Amino acid sequence: MESSIIEVANLRKVYRIGSEKVIALNSIHLTIQKGEFVCLLGTSGSGKSTLLNMMAGLEKPTKGTVRILGESINAMSEKKLAKFRQDYLGFIFQSYNLLPALNALENVSLPLTFKGISKQVREKRAAKLLDAVGLTSHIKHKPSQMSGGQQQRVGIARAFAANPEIIFADEPTGNLDSKTTQEVMELMTTLARKRNQTLIIVTHDREIAKFADRVVRILDGNIDGITLQKETIGVVE
């Protein structure tokens, strides 16, 4: 389909530890549309992170393919894949993964240094994003000088800085209280919507799943069901 941005076909991942075999993903088929907000929902060990990591090209599947923007990421060399990730993909982690020695502004502008953008433009863009996440007063703060929610907002600003087509987030609110979780979810949704970016979030929390357009339930390495919550496909604003 013309507007599909990610196509997962026959995806399988088997981990081997000695003689033990874990089928983390059985045979996954999934198509995600541009601008969609998809939630991968499931209990611990169901295979959510494995699926996200394969879709983001962070891990190699045992079988099957992932196509992003029409290109098979499995066929790419490591070098090409790294460049592809830099150009099109953004990541938000549960543990924030900010660089401790850098302040908020530097953390957010870092992904832009690889894009050949001048320091002045980088910092201007980073400051604008930090403003969008409500952290104008904290641009000089280092991660250790911020709360968990503030650090995650920096993490969100950083993921959006390079304006990626797709943003992947694995339990992005896993370390936050319920009020901050709501704020962070609303922030991610609003930012992605505004720019028609595709958002894929892994969670075990049904409250978080409520924000998504579509919920893909994962059970024992399989898709157990898909619920369409909001119609985004074919909607033109």
Ligand X SMILES: Nc1ncnc2c1ncn2[C@@H]1O[C@H](COP(=O)(O)OP(=O)(O)OP(=O)(O)O)[C@@H](O)[C@H]1O
List residues near Mg ion by CB under 5 A.
49
Smallest distance from the beta carbon of 57 to ligand X, in angstroms? 16
Query: 2 phi and psi, to 5 degrees?
Result: -60, -45
Q: Given the complex with ligand X, which of 133 and 215 has the nearer CB atom? A: 215
Tell me how far apart the alpha carbons of residues 174 and 162 are, in angstroms, rounded to a whole number: 24
Q: Which does 45 bind (CB under 5 to 8 A by kind): Mg ion, ligand X, none?
A: ligand X
Q: Tell me which of ligand X, Mg ion, none is bound by residue 135, counting a contact when its beta carbon lies within the kind-specific cut-off of 5 to 8 angstroms.
A: none
Count of residues for the chain? 237
Q: Measure CA of the first residue to CA of the last residue in the chain; give whole Å.
A: 20
Q: Is 49 in the site for ligand X (CB under 6 A)?
A: yes
Q: Which is nearer to Mg ion, 104 or 202 (CB)?
A: 202
Q: Least distance (Å) from Mg ion to the CB of residue 203?
A: 9
Instruction: State the sign of the Cα–Cα–Cα–Cα dihedral 96, 32, 213, 166.
Output: positive
Q: Minimum distance from CB of 83 to Mg ion (Å)?
A: 27
* DSSP 8-state assignment for residue 58: S
Nearest residue to 97 via CA among 200, 171, 205:
171
How many residues touch ligand X (CB under 6 A)?
13
Please state at what angle helix 104-113 crosses helix 119-132, rounded to 10 degrees.
130
Closest to 170 in 3D by CA, of 201, 197, 212, 205: 201
One symbol per residue from 189 to 228: x for binding ligand X (CB under 6 A), - otherwise; what is it?
Answer: ---------------x------------------------
C-beta closer to ligand X: residue 13 or 122: 13
Asked if 155 touches ligand X (CB under 6 A), the answer is: no
Q: Which does 47 bind (CB under 5 to 8 A by kind): Mg ion, ligand X, none?
A: ligand X
Using CB under 6 A as the binding rule, whether residue 152 contacts ligand X is answered as no
- Of 9-48, which residues contact ligand X (CB under 6 A)? 15, 17, 22, 24, 42, 44-48
Q: Distance between CA 39 and CA 52 in Å, rounded?
A: 10
- Specify the residue, 50 or 103, whose C-beta has the smaller distance to ligand X: 50
- What is the number of other CB atoms lying within 10 angstroms of the CB of residue 57? 20
Token pair belonging to 123: 């910092």
Do residues 91 and 155 touch, judged by C-beta distance below 8 A?
A: no
Binding region for ligand X (CB under 6 A): 15, 17, 22, 24, 42, 44-50, 204
